[in-house]
Amino acid sequence: MADEVESPWRAGGRRMSGAVDPWQGDSHLGEVVVAEDVLDKRVAELGEELTNDYDGRPPLLVGVLKGAFVFMSDLARAIRLPVEIDVMAVASYGSATTTSGVVRIVKDLDSDLTGRHVLVVEDIVDSGLTLSYLRRSLLAREPASLEVCALLVKEGRQPSRLDLRYVGFQIPPDFVVGYGLDVAERYRNLPDVRVYKGPVPVG
């Protein structure tokens, strides 16, 4: 009988006993920056904070695709309020690792933001340029309020103070993947956040 390899990896919070970690031996993956149980705990805390802050005025969650899809899915279920969900997709001109600050809306929202309590859900803030652009663009639509919930913020990378009301984790300024974050569309389904040590494609 073949040896049963006991692998501790989890997916969606459920233990996958007997499953092999598909990223085992991937030399491009470095250290775990935020472990799965730590993510779970922090998302639950943010959910509780948001539940309290938005009591009586359920927010419209605006997820920024594609990176935020995993975080938004978990966060939405951690908020005990009848939230509504919308998504938008943006593309920045520049290389894969740096942003030029010129952002293009690739897919706009379906919802009218007028008078709504809008909570932008972002995966990661690096230079902050994407977020500054988004904030300006969304504020012009006259929401009743606009706040940002970013899972990850890279330390020391933002030239000016960003008004980030909710932050999951401050992390070192390495390129990271997992929990929605990709390199060339890969690693989004990695259940934790890890340093990416391989070549990051430009384009």
For 116-153, letters b (16+ CB in 10 Å) and e give: bbbbbbbbbbbbbbbbbbbbeebeeeebeebbbbbbbb
Nearer residue to ligand IMP within complex by CB, 16 or 165? 165
Q: Name the minimum Å distance from CB 53 to ligand IMP.
A: 23
Nearer residue to ligand IMP within complex by CB, 14 or 161? 161
Q: Name the minimum Å distance from CB 124 to ligand IMP.
A: 5
The angle that helices 69-78 and 36-53 make with each other, rounded to 10 degrees, is 50
Q: Name the minimum Å distance from CB 127 to ligand IMP.
A: 3
To the query of whether residue 126 is one of the catalytic residues in this protein, the response is yes
CA distance 154 to 38: 17
Residues that bind ligand IMP (CB under 6 A): 67, 99, 123-131, 175-177, 181
Nearer residue to ligand IMP within complex by CB, 86 or 126? 126
Helix (H) or strand (E) run with residue 61 in it: strand 60-65
105 forms beta bridges with 90
Question: Which residue of the set 86, 126, 163, 192 is catalytic?
Answer: 126
Active-site residue numbers? 126
